[in-house]
Amino acid sequence: MHESARRKSAAPTAGSSAWVLACSLIFGLAAPHSVMLGQTPAIPEVVTEAKNYNEAVKELLKFQDLTRDLDKKSTLARPEVLRIQTTGNAARNSVPAMKQHLTSAIRQITAAGKWDKVDSLFVAEFAKVNADTAQKERFLEFVKRNGGAKAILQKAAAQVDRLPNEIDQTVRGAQSKMVGLLPGFLVPTVAYASPTVAWSELGCMAVAAAGILGTVAGCIPCGVAAVIGLATGGCV
């Protein structure tokens, strides 16, 4: 995890109620699919894969949200560690689906002859996202700093396989803060990095990719949630 990203996490963030609302919108937890699509998709061929990828990313966001809350504690009770382990397992298990749907989306965009237009289409559609102006600008800066929308999709697809290692490191960090023993676990003898508010660059890429895919697929709430996610994750 990057120290610079940790410092940036002190930047303006969304309140918990706003975060829950955004997540419910992006993943369709509180709204049907017909409500998720707020406009005619710029790339209709990728609508299904964008929805499926965002659904898989949901587990990563749940894990990050939980570790962010528990990071404030110097010690953790056994039930809290169990929650992190359970949520971490779900996030880890979602990685293959993330890679599958993201890779498939890239293939479909390419087959539709729109791959070279992804950057311009994303910028045009992202302008319609109704979110905090300053956070939107920082999101666009993140996209630009990482080579554009196409580059982020490619990087996320190529590197997402590394996420399980980062998730495991965070779980071990939680175990090192535990008070009492879990059945079948020994007292930790190595000090691991504790759960951190700031996401890794890879975690940021994965969430940004969800926002990019959702935006070009006509899912305005996806763009909103990505803007909030990167801000609360300390990415921008």
| Per-residue confidence (pLDDT) for residue 194, from 0 to 100 | 45
Strand residue runs (E) in the chain:
none
Determine the average pLDDT of the residues in 72-98: 91
pLDDT tens-digit profile of 156-211? 999 999 999 989 988 888 888 887 654 555 444 333 444 444 567 888 899 999 99
Cα distances (angstroms) measured from residue 189 to each of 28, 85, 90, 116, 195: 43, 19, 26, 51, 17
Please report the pLDDT score of residue 180 as a whole number.
60
Q: How far is CA 65 from CA 29, 194, 195, 233, in A?
A: 16, 15, 11, 9
Tokens of 51: 């929805």
- Whole-Å CA distances, 148 to 8, 79, 177: 21, 42, 39
Average pLDDT over residues 86-115: 96
Q: What is the pLDDT of residues 33-76, one digit of tens each?
A: 333 445 789 999 999 999 999 999 989 888 888 887 787 788 88
Half-sphere exposure of 58 (CA within 13 A, CB side): 17
Q: What's the pLDDT tens digit per position in 111-161?
A: 999 999 999 999 999 988 888 888 899 999 999 999 999 999 999 999 999
**29 neighbors 228 (Cβ within 8 angstroms):** no
Instruction: Determine the pLDDT at residue 197.
Output: 40
* pLDDT of res. 220: 76
Q: How many domains does the chain have?
A: 1
**What is the model's pLDDT at position 176?**
85
Query: Quick check: 2 pLDDT over 60?
Result: no
- Dihedral sign, Cα of residue 105, residue 110, residue 114, residue 115: positive
Q: Is the pTM of this model over 0.85?
A: no
Q: Which residue has the higher pLDDT, 232 or 160?
A: 160
DSSP at 147: T
Q: How far is CA 86 from CA 27, 128, 151, 160, 171, in A?
A: 20, 37, 32, 20, 10
Q: Considering all CA atoms of the chain, what is the largest pairwise distance in Å, rounded to the nearest integer?
A: 57
Does 234 have pLDDT greater than 60? yes
Most confident of 86-90, 198-202, 231-235: 86-90
Full residue range of the structural domain in which residue 153 is found: 3-232
pLDDT at 181: 53
